[in-house]
Amino acid sequence: MRVRFIDPTGREYLVEGEPGESAMRCATRALIPGVLGECGGAMACATCHCYVEPAGAAPPPPRADEQEMVSGCLEVRPNSRLTCQIILSAELEGITFVVPSSQV
């Protein structure tokens, strides 16, 4: 499945995502600038914050603990998510993650 990342300069990256992996893992594997995933997905760092733009199906909504963590990020928007909490699946084909400019 294809996943698109856009870095703060507007550069686009098309990455082959593995169903079952998190969007953060997909991004760090592809060395997307600004997606660090420092805590490994334990929801303790927020260095995986991105804005999510679904192409088709939307990922399941965030749990309360993710919402709380995201609320502490810089440049929060309504579509802010922690990408470590979004598990890729075929239904999410074409989903786009935009890296906030505060993370580079």
Q: Does 84 bind ligand FES (CB under 6 A)?
A: yes
Nearest approach, Cβ of residue 28 and ligand FES (Å): 9
Calculate the CA dihedral of residues 45, 68, 1, 101 and round it to 10 degrees. -60
From candidates 70, 82, 86, 98, binder to ligand FES by CB under 6 A:
82
User: Segment contacting ligand FES (CB under 6 A): 7-15, 44-52, 56-64, 91-99?
Assistant: 44-52
Q: What gap in Å lies between CA 14 and CA 12, rounded to an integer?
A: 7
Distance of CA 30 to the CA centre of its chain: 13
From candidates 30, 45, 76, 87, binder to ligand FES by CB under 6 A:
45
Q: Does 24 bind ligand FES (CB under 6 A)?
A: yes
- In this structure, the strands spanning 2-6 and 96-98 are parallel
- In this structure, the strands spanning 49-53 and 80-82 are antiparallel
From candidates 46, 50, 88, 95, binder to ligand FES by CB under 6 A:
46
Task: Tell me the one-letter amino acid at 49.
Answer: H
Binding site for ligand FES (CB under 6 A): 24, 37-39, 41, 43-48, 82, 84
